[in-house]
Amino acid sequence: MTSHGAFIAAFHILFLLIPPLSAALWWYHRRDIGARYLPLLLKHLVFIGVGVQGFMAGLKQIFTGESIAAYLDWPYSPFVAELGLMNLAFGILGLIAPFASRGFLVAASLGYGIFLIGAAIGHLRDVITTGNLALGNIGPTLWSDILIPLGLLWLIVATREGRRPT
């Protein structure tokens, strides 16, 4: 694995670990005013898992698309830059969403979640059809593509109005 591949893999792992830790720290300092953990976790997962991840992935795909394709062991195509623009757009939405209305937060989460699940299906289909076991195809990227949308969906349902406080 190249140092570039290790860098990308580490970031995918961090996008899964930082939101629960940052939300726990935030909750710990706000619990005296009645802060609840799950709504904080949702906002932190959207900010980091959608916003920061989408923004960074977008920039990397736009400016270093060939290295991203190599990490996945896929052929490079100019479409990678177009994918980068989509990631950048969702990244910006994810950076704004925690400070906007719940509807905006849910929409940004569901939109990016649908994209990530689709990406996970694409990675798995590539493994099945070509046997591509590159780290970028089956490693932390795949797990991030699965766990972030599932976490977002669970948190959206768990924090909806009418639910008992957590």
Number of domains in the chain: 1
pLDDT, tens digit (0-9, with 9 covering 90-100), for 128-151: 999 999 988 999 999 999 999 999
Confidence of residue 4 (pLDDT cuts 50, 70, 90): low
Distance CA 160, CA 11 (A): 30
Spatial contact of 86 and 58, defined as CB atoms under 8 Å apart: yes
Asked whether residue 163 is domain-assigned, the answer is no
Asked whether residue 11 is domain-assigned, the answer is yes
Asked whether residue 29 is domain-assigned, the answer is yes
Asked whether residue 84 is domain-assigned, the answer is yes
Q: What residue spans of the chain are helical by DSSP H?
A: 3-30, 37-45, 53-63, 65-72, 79-96, 102-130, 135-138, 140-158
Residue 123 belongs to domain spanning:
3-158
Asked whether residue 166 is domain-assigned, the answer is no
Asked whether residue 164 is domain-assigned, the answer is no
What are the structure tokens assigned to 76, written together?
A: 């490079």
Asked whether residue 152 is domain-assigned, the answer is yes
Spatial contact of 136 and 8, defined as CB atoms under 8 Å apart: yes
pLDDT, tens digit (0-9, with 9 covering 90-100), for 146-163: 999 999 999 999 999 865
Asked whether residue 165 is domain-assigned, the answer is no
Return the percentage of the chain with pLDDT > 70, whole number: 95
pLDDT at position 165 is: 54
pLDDT, tens digit (0-9, with 9 covering 90-100), for 55-112: 999 999 999 999 999 989 999 999 999 999 999 999 999 999 999 999 999 999 999 9
